A and B are shown apart, each in its own frame.
Chain A
């Protein structure tokens, strides 16, 4: 009896330590394909949340910030190139994108608890929300602006005299970054009373 049991255990042990080649291959290939499916599914899901339709699926975004964007040059212009929400608000690079997406879970919580679910509440919170985006852009040297607006490709001779002077000095030296001067270019501004460079 005990001999028989030892034999079963030994066989089982052998199965675990030296699996048949076919089983090994099966596990590996199943894992490989499952990996593709899960990783692909994760990325597809992530990209799904990176579309403008997703952003304006909530009335908070659709009725406030999106309506304001429509009036600006980032929505309508002579050449028809336009920026969508994620172009400015979600980093393109994977690492930064994931960090931003994790931080965005706070926004999901905000949606559930209805922090800005009326126009009045939205206006009340606009200052802190804008300040958060300004701080983010200031810290990363306006990375999302630079996805399209490449400093090296700026032709100063095509710019206005006023803009050229600022870009040649402050921007080129790195003293200032895009967001320092270009606030409120895609949405209306909050109370600017204590913002640097205003009034």
Chain B
């Protein structure tokens, strides 16, 4: 009996060792966002999307949408020490720079009190405003704006 148990254990152990890599790489024909690639192999990285370098302002899709950034922003510093965006978009500079000025709403605290400067909660531009790239979304989007819905 003891010999039989030992033999059985050895056989199971051997089988599991042989089977292990096969089981790991088997994804059961399921295609995930990383493609039909076994788990233990590296998939091909998608091509990196290129940011739009210099476009005209982009139309907004809905009321209160933060307008997107139609130009490259590589190396723009926005932190405690300085805000590169404001060197063109601030109320002091927008006219000379020919840029869109920061909305008046950005000067209000969350309680609606008007400030002389950009409100700290609105200081980090890139929280809402983002640069654009031509990228094919992996999942289709059927979004319609309210103005589009009104047309039906």
Contacts and interface: CB of A to CB of B under 8 A. Distances in A.
Interface of A: 71-73, 160-163, 165, 184-185, 188-192, 195, 197-199
4 nearest A-B residue pairs (beta carbon): A160-B54, A192-B82, A189-B82, A191-B81
A199 B86 CA distance: 5
Interface string B49-65: 00001100000000000
Interface string B76-119: 01001111101100101100011100000000000000000000
Interface residues of B, number: 20
A184 B98 contact: no
B81 A162 contact: no
Chain B interface SS verdict (over half): loop
B74 A73 contact: yes
B71 interface: yes
Contacts of A189: 77, 81-82
Interface of B: 53-54, 71-72, 74-75, 77, 80-84, 86-87, 90, 92-93, 97-99
Nearest to B91: A199
B101 to A, nearest CB: 13
Contact of B98 (A165, A185, A192, A197): A165
A91 B61 CA distance: 51
